[in-house]
Amino acid sequence: MTATLFSRRLLSHEAMLALLLALALFTLSRLSDSFLSSANLLNQVRLMAEIGLIALAMTLVIVTGGIDLSVGSITGLSAILLGVLWSKLGIPLPMAAVLAIAGGMVAGLANGLIITRFGVPPLIATLATMAFYRGLAEGLSQGRSVRGYPESFYVLGQGDVLGVPTQVLILLVAAILVGIALQMTAFGRTVLAIGANETAARFSSLPVDRVKLIVYGFSGLMAGLAGVLLVSRVTTTRSDMGMGWELDAITAVVLGGASIFGGRGTVLGTVLALALIQCLKNGLSLAGVKADGTIVLIGLFLIAAVLLGNLMDRIAAR
């Protein structure tokens, strides 16, 4: 009974998002001729891939009722790790990339440890690690940037596979895998249960701590992967990479219908929300709105979308 009410509520939120997306695509294509071309749309997916990967993992984190503010710093840290391991220690580039991503995962697992083993609330724990990892990145890089990567490395960030940008494929595969994991596996059910009622989940012998650890570790892993993709896209490593990305990811997840208190959320919602935000950013800019105007309009739009979502939830609950 509750399950169908739940699914009905979720379905209506995603349907509303899809409708808004279609509306936005239509309006923006009217405002500018260059918006609806396949080259532009594929390029936009390429640009949103990094935040997209982080938002996918953030969906899991938020559904457990937690939050991860350190993802931006982990992105910067793994970008720096890649640069330092390759240029200073001479490790071959593919190995350095794997180690950088693994470093991101270790950082995420550290977050998970602090949250599960020491019982620190996720907001505070990741707020602290956000500063810590950024500091590590600054320290390791000493403010220098690493450049001069071989051309073959740029296929990740700037190349195409069968005509589709590489990041689009990576994002697609990740979205499908995470979506399946959340909706159709016992692991996903546990994630939802932790967010809905953690005490009940514990008393039902669900492996709450282990799942939380995996979820935060996965968040770090995605942030690491995003860092490597970013370096490949901009051909350089900077210690300030990823600053502010945590807010963009959280915005996408919350707009996608996930409850910030946990227990509710879908990957489809997150993906639709990501697409909507990117469309707006791009379409408004092409229509001639300047950067500062775009921020205002997107903010207004997000407020309207969240209010509308709440309204529809209340109607569906009756």
Residues in contact with another protein by the rule CB under 8 A: 32, 34, 37, 39-40, 43, 47, 84, 88, 103, 106, 109-110, 113, 117, 135-136, 139-145, 147, 154, 158, 233-236, 238, 240-241, 243, 281-282, 285-286, 290-292, 295
For residues 30 and 147, which CB has a smaller minimum distance to another protein in the complex? 147
For residues 267 and 277, which CB has a smaller minimum distance to another protein in the complex? 277
Nearest distance from C-beta of residue 234 to another protein, angstroms: 4
Nearest distance from C-beta of residue 10 to another protein, angstroms: 32
Nearest distance from C-beta of residue 17 to another protein, angstroms: 23
Q: How far from the centroid of its chain's Cα atoms is residue 310's Cα?
A: 23
Give the list of residues 6+ apart from residue 126 with CB closer than 8 angstroms, or none.
67, 68, 69, 70, 111
Nearest distance from C-beta of residue 217 to another protein, angstroms: 10
For residues 152 and 183, which CB has a smaller minimum distance to another protein in the complex? 152
Nearest distance from C-beta of residue 184 to another protein, angstroms: 28
Nearest distance from C-beta of residue 114 to another protein, angstroms: 10
The total of other beta-carbon atoms located within 10 Å of residue 118's CB is 8
Q: How far from the centroid of its chain's Cα atoms is residue 272's Cα?
A: 13
For residues 98 and 308, which CB has a smaller minimum distance to another protein in the complex? 98
For residues 84 and 267, which CB has a smaller minimum distance to another protein in the complex? 84
For residues 103 and 188, which CB has a smaller minimum distance to another protein in the complex? 103
Query: How is the chain classified by DSSP, letter by letter?
Result: -HHHHHHHHHHHHHHHHHHHHHHHHHHHHHH-TTTT-HHHHHHHHHHHHHHHHHHHHHHHHHHTT---TTHHHHHHHHHHHHHHHHHTS---HHHHHHHHHHHHHHHHHHHHHHHHHS---HHHHHHHHHHHHHHHHHHHHTT--B----GGGGHHHH-EETTEEHHHHHHHHHHHHHHHHHHHSHHHHHHHHHHH-HHHHHHTT--HHHHHHHHHHHHHHHHHHHHHHHHHHHSSB-TTTTTTHHHHHHHHHHHTT--TTSS---HHHHHHHHHHHHHHHHHHHHTT--HHHHHHHHHHHHHHHHHHHHHHHHHHH-
**Which amino acid, one-letter code, is at 130?**
M
For residues 141 and 251, which CB has a smaller minimum distance to another protein in the complex? 141
The total of other beta-carbon atoms located within 10 Å of residue 19's CB is 11
For residues 37 and 183, which CB has a smaller minimum distance to another protein in the complex? 37
Residues in the chain: 318
Nearest distance from C-beta of residue 244 to another protein, angstroms: 8
Nearest distance from C-beta of residue 189 to another protein, angstroms: 24
